[in-house]
Homo-oligomer: A and B are copies of this chain.
Amino acid sequence: MLIIGERLNTSRKQAAEAAEKFAATFIKAEAEAQLQAGAHFLDVNAGTFAEREMEYLLWMAKTLRAEVDAPLCIDSSDPVVIREALRICGKGMMVNSISAEKDTYAAVLPLIKEHECKVVALCMGDGGIPTEFENKLEIGCELVETLLRDGIAADDIYIDPLIMAVSTAQDGGVVALRMIQEVRNRYPGVHAVCGLSNISFGLPERRLLNRIFLVAAMSAGLDAVILDPLDKQMMASLIAAKTVLGRDEYCSQYLAAFRAHKLEQ
């Protein structure tokens, strides 16, 4: 299970303040805490700053690459920001995201090829985010096949079904789960990833819904996730899910987590 730590996102107040003050100590501490808690990649996102996104994201990326030994997930909807960030970061990063939108695809594809990146591939096209399962599946499959044809290795593709909130679409979770299952079955080696918080938008006790959906998604074949690794209940659910889903040989990760007091609720 690949874990992408989501805390270095300026939609979080503390991360926004750290970016504005160029507080390298905070950024480094957040990075280390996430890695310590089990993150494999660190998502960096400064999208809330619109005009200063480039400046803040590049600074965060530069700071992290100098201070921390972990790959980044460059999270921006602006291909120019992605391009400049990848110049700083070197090879082996992840890009969040590419999609089936023609302009985005054309702009991002050469960047991930040049810098040998993994890529989050969003199931949306120029018509927006499909809500029906069949439309979503069609767009998702076309996107995967195009990426494969364009020379991206299956192992570098992380399809994101784009979860719709269950508060607005009762089958929002089910559609995402079916997508994960279908894509993982049809394209061996291609991964499935998602952010979790959309599922619970508009409802109370969101963290409960988010972690329960994580378990359902892992059952459907999810093998990567963007989350807050410092959320202890979330991580305990993830570890327990790996164990009951047969992805933890001799339950050794579960027992290690227990000994490290990570499972106490």
A108 close to chain B: CB less than 8 A:
no
Copies held by the complex = 2
Residues on B with beta carbons closer than 8 Å to the beta carbon of A171: 246
> Do B254 and A203 have beta carbons less than 8 Å apart?
yes
A218 to B217, CA, bound (A): 12
- On whether A208 and B220 interact (CB within 8 A), knowing A171-B246, A244-B166, the answer reads no
A15 close to chain B: CB less than 8 A:
no
Instruction: Give chain A interface residues in 112-137, CB to chain B under 8 Å.
Output: none
A77 close to chain B: CB less than 8 A:
no
Residues on B with beta carbons closer than 8 Å to the beta carbon of A264: 205
Choice from B212, B246, B263 contacting A215 with Cβ under 8 Å:
B212
> Do A216 and B219 have beta carbons less than 8 Å apart?
yes
> Do B174 and A246 have beta carbons less than 8 Å apart?
yes
Q: Is the interface of A mostly helix, strand, loop or mixed?
A: helix
> Do A212 and B240 have beta carbons less than 8 Å apart?
yes
- On whether A170 and B258 interact (CB within 8 A), knowing A209-B240, A212-B241, A241-B216, the answer reads no
- On whether A208 and B241 interact (CB within 8 A), knowing A219-B216, A246-B174, A251-B203, the answer reads no
> Do B177 and A219 have beta carbons less than 8 Å apart?
yes
Contact with B along A35-67 (1 / 0, CB 8 A): 000000000000000000000000000000000
Contact with B along A167-192 (1 / 0, CB 8 A): 10011111001000000000000000
Choice from B209, B245, B251, B258 contacting A167 with Cβ under 8 Å:
B251
Choice from B170, B204, B212, B258 contacting A246 with Cβ under 8 Å:
B170
Residues on B with beta carbons closer than 8 Å to the beta carbon of A173: 243-246
Residues on B with beta carbons closer than 8 Å to the beta carbon of A244: 166, 173, 199, 209, 212-213, 216
Choice from B203, B246, B265 contacting A208 with Cβ under 8 Å:
B265
Q: Which of A237, A240, A249 has the most CB of B within 10 A?
A: A240
A residues whose Cβ falls under 8 Å from a Cβ of B: 166-167, 170-174, 177, 199, 203-205, 208-209, 212-213, 215-216, 218-220, 233, 236-237, 240-241, 243-246, 248-251, 254-255, 258, 263-265
